Amino acid sequence: MTICKCYLYTLLSVLLFVSGCGVSPLSDSQGVRPEGDERPNVLLIVADDLGYADLGVYGSEIQTPNLDRLANEGVLLTQFYVAPACSPTRAMLLSGTDSHIAGLGNMAELMAPNQKGQPGYEGYLNFQVAAMPELFKEAGYHTFMTGKWHLGMTEATGPAARGFDKSFALLPSGAGHFGNRLPIVGPDKAKYSEDGEALATLPEDFYSTRTFTERLIDYIDEGKEEGRPFFGYLAYSAPHWPLQAPEESIAKYRGKYDAGYDVLLEKRLRRLKELGFVGQEVETFPRLRGESAWDELSDEEQRYQARIMETYAAMVDDIDVYVGKLIDHLKSIGEYDNTLIVFQSDNGPEAHNLDHGWEALENWVEDCCNNSFENIGAPDSYVWYGPNWGQAGNTPLRMFKGYVGEGGVRAPAFFHFPKEIPGDSKTSEFATVKDIMPTLLEFAGIDHPGEGAFQGREVVAMQGHSLVPLLTGKGEVDRPPNDYMGWELVGKRAIRQGEWTFVYVPYHEVIDGVLPVAEMDKWQLYNLTDDPAQIHDLSESHPEKRAAMLALWDDYAERNNVILPDQLSGY
């Protein structure tokens, strides 16, 4: 019988503590660690619908000094890949395997008739995977979660059932950001739970970004007396729509977007080139057909659109503010230096015109909310980013959330842990959300059970690979030869291998000024080195590569039990 080194750490800690061999304070604070337990705390922070170019470290004008500092002191990932939507990404994050295996082959809200009830399409994080918090908890860690869950709506599939000791969670895909529990579509209120129990009300001063942060701080403080390390999952629901923020946060950005989205796009693209994120000759993805240039809008339309972007910027700024408060708190209790911090977005920005073709949403917004100019950002307002601001926030990448183009699946991310990760670096090495779990487990000295028995059930192995060698500068990531990444969501499909991507969209992405970049039932081939916007299809000039990528898609679909929907959602 083998004993995981996580158990040895825990056993050693307990024996040393009980025998009176002494304890070693991490600081002059009250919390102590049993001598010999040097495992790091782990803090996993996820933003919701944050664009690739939205942080200052990527060249954004939005003020994010705390996140920028963490990124600059750690390793910034410039080619980090996620799923094209919220719950599939979170399923991969907490399982280390593909979402089609982990239960979110499609979002629960968009499940097609032929997918319902099929393995891998349960609509929640299924029990065929060993969830990350389950493994940390079994290893003796405190496990805390605050924020958006979106991996199961019932007590049996919520955070408390998947390994979190303490949790304060928004269960569905999104909600308003204040205490009125404004749902994505009503009339029922948005559902929250605490430690597995449904909440009937929220605190009067509830603001999602602040409350999720402060509640996590409370959990950390409550657990520090026991001296055990913690695994904290802080899953912000910002800047997910509806866009809302306190008036004082929005006021900070008054007038900063009056020049419009076209000027913002050019500024951000120029900064990305200056900072070396993209080459000097890179084009940006064209404007969607039917969308107006900024100077074609009326003065009133420009004023309204600028206020929407001010609100979005305020939400991103507030994430940074409260991450800063959390970091300050970790420093004050002596836990900062021994805390591994990971930050990422769950997908690209939400830049759909959400009211186009979604009658229930259109009717709900009409009934629930006051979207007058003066009320934008208030608790009873309901506005969203839109494709033009979204394009600026995601430049130069193709499309946005919900799509398998680079704009939907490439996200900002970084690791921070100066004790073991050299700082002031960025890497263009390919990395995915599936790699996060094996990386964190290795840093914490925790073994995954692999394919086999875990807590009385059979589980699958992880597909991801530890990034520890890359992050520490001690070697290369141990990926198999010819490794690749695949995606599928509501029939949209893609494969990436090396510098090549292969994209299929089952309907037209119609854009202005050029031919459609994706035609009905036709795969498109792109080389990301020269064309990160995925504009120039190379299928005809590289037929052998096209055939090889198509074979990879077939392999991906078979290995991951991909069931293409027999009914498209329109998303």
**Residue numbers annotated as active site:** 86, 150
Nearest to 64 by CA among 299, 357, 295, 323: 323
Cβ contact 340:417 at 8 Å: yes
Per-residue burial over 36-74, b = 16 or more CB atoms within 10 Å of its CB, e = otherwise: bbebbbbbbbbbbbbbbbbbbbbbbebbbebbbbbbbbb
Structure-token pair, residue 133: 């918090």
How is residue 84 annotated by DSSP? Answer: S
One-letter-per-residue 3-state SS of 229-268? CEEEEEECCCCCCCCCCCHHHHHCCCCCCCCCHHHHHHHH
Give me the residue label for tokens 């729509």. 241
Residue 480 amino acid letter: P
Nearest to 516 by CA among 503, 532, 501: 503
Asked if the peptide bond before residue 242 counts as cis, ω within 30 degrees of 0, the response is yes
Structure-token pair, residue 358: 């979604």
Cβ contact 309:317 at 8 Å: no
Nearest to 93 by CA among 419, 435, 469, 471: 435
Cβ contact 571:408 at 8 Å: no
As a whole number of angstroms, the distance between CA 390 and CA 382 comes to 17
Residue 256: exposure state from Cβ atoms within 10 A (0-12, 13-18, ≥19)? middle
Tally the C-alpha atoms within 13 A of residue 318's C-alpha that lie toward its C-beta: 29
As a whole number of angstroms, the distance between CA 476 and CA 465 comes to 11
Structure-token pair, residue 515: 């031919």
Nearest to 286 by CA among 198, 398, 363: 398
Name residues whose C-beta falls within 8 Å of residue 36's C-beta, 6 or more positions apart in sequence.
9, 12, 13, 16
What SS3 state is found at 81?
A: strand
Asked if the peptide bond before residue 506 counts as cis, ω within 30 degrees of 0, the response is no
As a whole number of angstroms, the distance between CA 399 and CA 492 comes to 12
Cα dihedral 128, 132, 138, 142, rounded to 10, equals -150
Identify the helix (H) or strand (E) that includes residue 68.
helix 65-72
